[in-house]
Structure formats: C-alpha cells, structure tokens
Structure 1
Amino acid sequence: MPSENGIYCIWLDLHIGIIEEYRAFHEKFQEKLAPINGLPPDSINNLMLCFEQEIAPIKFVSNIDDALVLIQNETEKRIILISSGTLGKDIVPFVTENYPRVYSFYIFCAVISNHCRWALPYSSCLQMFGHETDLLIRLLRDISKEFIHLGRSYLAVDEGESARQYFVTAQTLEIDANNADTIHHTFNERLDLLQGPNGLIRRAKNLRDEHIARETIAFVDEIQYILVDLSESMNPTAECIVHFLKIFLSPQTLITIDNSSSDDIIRLIDKPTCLFTTNNALAELLRERCGSSNLSLYMIEDNADLVDNTTLYGNINDLVDKLVELIVAKYRQQAAKHRNIRKTQLADIEMKMAERIEYEVRKLQASQLS
C-alpha cells in the first residue's frame, strides 16, 4: 500500500531534520519539549513505523529550501507537510499559493498560541499540535478516514481487491492510533464500520471473491470451440444447449459460423481449437493448414471412409454432447491443476462450474423430451 496510495510526506524542522533514528527523534523532543503525558517511550516510534509501513516514508529536512526541492521534484503524489511553527509561518503561505499537490499541513510547535494569528487563514488545510504523539495519532486517523472514502469509491465500481486493501490499511491505522492514545476514550466508530460480518472489509472481500469467480469462468479462453455449417442439422434441443453454452462461456470461446471460407475461419483460430462440422472438405483443408496439434475435428459423417483420423458422430445430438463433454472435462482438468498447487478456492469454483454445465444441459434435454 505505501507505494500505491499516492501520498508523500515531508517533515520540516530545524531540530529533527538531520535525525534518522526514531528513538533519537523521540529523545530529542523529550529534551526540547514537555514530557509526553506519561506515554510509553516506544509510542512515538511505533506510530512512526506504522505511518511509514502503511502510508508513506517520511522525508526529514531541516530548512525551507530543502523542503521546496522535495516538493518541486515530486510531481505525481499528493504531499503532506509537517512543519515546526516557526518554519511553517514562512513556508505554508508560499506552498499553498504555488504547490496545490501539498494538500495537508500539520504544525508541531511548543506553544500553539504563538502561531494562531498566521495559521488562521489556512485552517481548512492546517492543524496544529503541541505534542508529537497527538500529531501522529491525528495523522493516522485522518488518513484512515481518507482510505475508507477511497475504499468505498472502489466498491462502487466493483473493484473488490483494491477496496479491501484500503479498508485493511485503515483498520491497521485505527488500531495503532487507539493503542497509542492513552489520554482519550478509545475511538471505535471506524473500526465498527470496517469490521464485523457486514463490515466494509467483509463486503470488499466478498466482492473480490465474486470477481475471482467471474474470472474463473473464462479460464477456457485457452481453448476455442468452433461450430461450422451446422445450422441445418440443428434441432431444438441442440440449439438450446449451444445457446446456453454461449451465454455461460466467455466471449469468443464458443463460435458458430455458417457459409464461411477457410480463410475466414483460420483468422479466428489463434489457439488450440476444437472444430465441429459436417463439411468434410472444409475440415480437411483446415487440418492441412492448421496442423493436427492445433486443431481437433469432430464431425457428423455416416461414411467413415470419407474421413481420416477424425472423431465421427451419427447425429447432431451426439455431436453437441461431445462439445459439452469437452468443456466439462476442461473445467475438471483446470480444477485438478489448481488443487495440486493449493489454489483450493479456484479449484472448488471450477468444479462447481463443471457441475453447473452438466446440470443445466440435463435440464434442457429433459425439458425438450417432456
């Protein structure tokens, strides 16, 4: 998530801009400012680590020129600027006027009242804090709120996995903020929204799983089924089954063609193909041009002498039954492959797809007989 969320954070402070270690950062502030309300020594470090792991690395600088260089060089991500009060007084007005990518400011200062006058015009995008822990807790909560909003946007466009990632990250931020905030009551409103059997995380996961299921239906895209010149042989049962299969399978997996030249058909063949036809001359020509390794032929032909090395069927129902058998076998083959590599969920879905095809075809056949 840190590399993908589009956020870049700069911390500008004369005293900490050259400090790299979080513990040294904490100790420096302990020396300069009032004690942190009895918080455990590791609270600052944990919050900083959470921020960097879940949101974005923080770039520390000690002067305005270095901060502006970082802002100018970052042209794609939105920027959060954390600053001391003294440096903030000079940089915030300039940045708000010239660099809209900096969308949020957090001022960390020993005496907030000393900076209220200059900060007031920027209250819509600026917050001020006297303790670094309070600042970091608020920062985590603010970004958690933003991530929940982004996750809901992805839910609205059926992007379940992207939504889930934002929601899970927001959950982590909320938990870390609660763990560090020993002064105020635990804030659970957003956690309640995210968690639970009907929470946003579960809803996003369900949407992701549904998307996986839809993608799984299309796995037979690696093979093609083409029916050529069979319209005159079709009966109502065969027509219903072929129509169902065309709806059930992904586009261009099952194609029906009448009165097309061999060139037209060859242009459709870009993967291993099962060809079903009554046109022996066309079948032979296609086999010569495509090769037996890329083309399997299934034909209605009473006279076996007319067809060499081809699977023969006496009528359209038998031919369509073979089509169903091949598609079902492909689903089962893929399920076995996924189960061997421990993709159990995909394997289960694929087995259900095979069973669904068999069940629906039996229903169609029974309905035509009744």
Structure 2
Amino acid sequence: MSSENGYYCIWLDSHIGAPGECPSFQDKFQQSLKPMNGLPPNSINNLILCFEQEVAPIKFVSDIDDALVLVQNEIDKKIIFISSGSLGKQIIPFIIKTHPHVYTFYIFCAQVSNNLSWAIDYTNCLQMFDHETDLLIRLVRDISKEFIHLGLSYLAVYDGESARKYFTTAQTLETHANNANSPMPPFTDRLKMLQGPNGLIQESQNVKEDQRTNETIASLDNIQYVLINLTTAMNPTVASIVHFLQIFLPPRTILTIKNSSSDNIIRLINKPACLFLRNSVLTQLLIQRVGTNNLSIYMIEDNTNLVDRITHFNNIDDLINKLVELIVEKYRQQAATHLHSTVFITGIIVIGY
C-alpha cells in the first residue's frame, strides 16, 4: 500500500546513512550505535521492511544537503523525517520553517538529555529515542493510529474499500510492532478495535458490499453534489468553473446555498448527495440527521495535518477540482455501463461559505 498513501521517510545519520539495502540495517546499528540487547533475530529488519512495504519507502542519507534535496523533491508527499541528534539540531529548525509538508520528526541519539535544550521548542512535532527498536515501534504505531483515523474518515463518507485498505494496513503494522516488541506484552487495544465480527475491518467490508449492491442503481439515479457556503471563498478561476458547470449541466444540477442551516440543506437532499463544505460541526450534524448511506463529504480542512487530498483539502481550488473529478468519473461509469445510451447526472448542489 505504500505507493498509494503519499508518505515518504527520510533517515539522516552520518553513521547509518551510507547507501545500502535494508538487510544491512541491523548490522549498521550493531556496529556504530547500541547493541541489540537480546532482541529476536531480524526483528528490526522485519519491522523496517514492513514499514517500507505498507507505509513508505525509506531513504537513508548521511549528509544534510542530500536530505534537503530529498525534502525539496518530495513536495507532494507527507514526509517523516528521522535524524541523529547532532544533524537534527542543524537541519530540523530550518525544515520546520521552510517545508511544512514535513509533518513529523523523530530523533535517534545516544543520549536524549544532550538534545533537550534545542528540541524542547519542537515537542509538538518531534519525538526522541535512544534505542532503535523503540523508535521504529513508536513510528509504526503512530502511523497505525493515523491510518485508523483515515479509515474512519472513509467510513464516514461510505467508502468501504478505501477504509478497508487503511484498517488492514493498520492491523499489519500493529502485528509487526508487537512481534518486534517481544518479550514485552503485546499492545492489543487497536487490534481489538480492528478485528473480529464487529471490528472496523468487517464494518468496512460490509460497507464495501453494500456499495457493490447499490452501484448499478446509483449510477443510473440522480446524485446531488453539495458545496456548502463556499461562494465567498471562490477566486475568479474557481467561480468560472462553477459557472461553466451550471451552464453545461442540466438545470438545477448545481445549486448554490448561502444559508448553511442544516434544516435548509436537509430539505434539499432527497437523493444520495456529495457535500462540499468547511464547517465540521455542520458536517457531523448532517451525518447524524441524514446518515452516511446518503452522504459523501469533502471538506476544506484548516488543520494541515489532516489534509489528505482525498476527502480533506486545504484550499478551494483543490475542492472544486474534486467536484469536477467526481462529475467526470460519474459520466465515465455511466458510459461504460450504457455504451449506447446517453445518461445525464443531475442534482448537484453547491453551498457557499
């Protein structure tokens, strides 16, 4: 799944950053840093291999300039940055100021206390470890937690397949983290949440099967695309796109609602709807009153850590691009299903903010 989720990991360390394959990872630690302390054979290698397969490729570098080149070249990814203490002290303050897409940092050092004086200013995005296994287990568990959150977001918009991918990946990560942490007791809280007949994986599978059942009906039925309270945020380009869609598509395909009270919106939703909005409180209220079966939600998100460019966007341009993408995809689906028929999609609602 690593190629799909938009993550990239950079590991900067003058000792272990020399080019090499993952199988040499354990030896590098043994030779230059701390001993393995009786850990199960290959536990580190297995954990880092799992991370690369399920989350993100890991690029090892030994030089600050090389690390900065990677950061600048991967601007479309969420970068996880791991560094030694001495190099992290030099580069991390600069990256935080200039490269916001690097959203989390981990320090691996011999003495955590030696780095407290500079790192204390970055405790909101930085964690420090003096043992490689502790670092990797925490990294894997942090990503697992985030993937569960993303999976829940997909469930909220009734996308069972995407939710299932994130939940099963989180399950794999948790299992490998427990294996690497042996002989300590396994952490099972998230696995219990994910597994079993009432777990999130099964719930996402149920949603996926419901989607398959309803796909044919949905592709033939009218769909409402709802943009909530966004008109004042539109720049001229976005406004022109919306205006063109209003002219090109059948009447009332795109409706602009400036009054964003839930009662007004619900009165207009009489079909499955795609909502485009910013107000998270309103989102939850609509889900409670309408249910996720009839709503798909796409939001502008102020918290950059939550922006995934799938359901959460950080600007109006990306949000409207998503609207266009959905319309095009719906026509493509209908064309594939009804090769010799012309089927129009109607009922797009735009609600401005």
CA separation of 1:214 and 1:25: change in aligned 2, threshold 3 A: same
Give 1:162-201 correspondences, 5 Å limit.
162-182=162-182, 184-201=184-201
Q: Distance in 1 between matches of 2:339 and 2:15?
A: 65
1:82 to partner: Cα distance: 0.4
Question: Offset at 1:36?
Answer: 2.1
How many aligned positions are there? Answer: 227
Gaps of 5+ in 2: 222-270, 272-337, 343-353
1:145 has 2:145 as partner: yes
Letter aligned with residue 156 of structure 2: A
Q: Determine if contact 2:19/2:61 at 8 Å carries over to the other structure.
A: no
**Alpha-carbon RMSD:** 2.1
1:23 CA drift (Å): 3.0
Q: What per-residue deviation string (whole Å, max 9, x for no partner) do you get for residues 82-122 of structure 1?
A: 00111000011111111110000010111111111111111
Greater displacement, 181-190 / 94-103: 181-190
Equivalent in the alignment of 1:21: 21
Identify if the C-alpha distance between structure 1 residues 145 and 218 changes in structure 2 by more than 3 Å, giving closer, same or farther: closer
**Is residue 2:117 matched to residue 1:114?**
no
Q: How far did residue 73 of structure 1 move?
A: 1.1
What do the CA deviations read for 1:63-85 (whole angstroms, capped 9, x no partner)? 11011111111121111000011
User: How many Å separate the matches in 2 of 1:115 and 1:218?
Assistant: 57
1:271 paired residue among 322, 336, 340: 340
Structure 2 distance, partners of 1:110, 1:180, is 21
Aligned to 2:95: 95
Matched residue, 2:58 = 58
- Whether 2:43 is the aligned partner of 1:43: answer yes
Q: Residue type of the partner of 1:19?
A: P
Distance, in Å, in 2 between the alignment partners of 1:219 and 1:135 is: 47
Whole-Å separation in 1 of the counterparts to 2:339 and 2:28:
66
Q: Secondary structure at the match of 2:18?
A: coil
Match of residue 160 from structure 1? 160
Q: Structure 1 length normalisation: TM-score?
A: 0.59
Q: Which runs of 5+ in 1 are unaligned?
A: 222-246, 248-268, 274-370
Structure 1 CA distance, aligned partners of 2:142 and 2:218? 41
8 A Cα contact 1:161 1:208, kept in partner: yes
Work out whether residues 196 and 202 of structure 1, in 8 Å CA contact, stay in contact via their aligned partners in 2: yes
- Aligned residue for 1:16, secondary structure, equals coil
The structure that is helix-richer by fraction is 1
SS of equivalent residue, structure 2 residue 116: helix
* Residues 1-370 of structure 1 mapped to structure 2, 5 A cutoff: 1-182=1-182, 184-217=184-217, 271=340
Native 8 Å contact 2:40 2:182 kept in 1: no
Q: 3-state DSSP class of the match of 1:165?
A: helix
Seen in structure 2, the aligned counterparts of structure 1 residues 270 and 55 have a Cα distance that, compared at 3 Å, is closer
Of 211-220 and 84-93, the range deviating more from structure 2:
211-220
Checking the alignment, whether the CA contact within 8 Å between 1:19 and 1:25 is kept in structure 2 is no
* Alpha-carbon distance, 1:61 to partner: 0.8
Does the Cα contact within 8 Å between 2:15 and 2:32 map onto a contact in 1?
no
Higher relative contact order (CA 8 A, sep 6+): 2
Alpha-carbon distance in structure 2 between the residues aligned to 1:89 and 1:145 = 27
- Distance in 1, matches of 2:10 and 2:118, equals 21
Distance 1:104 1:215 in 2: 39
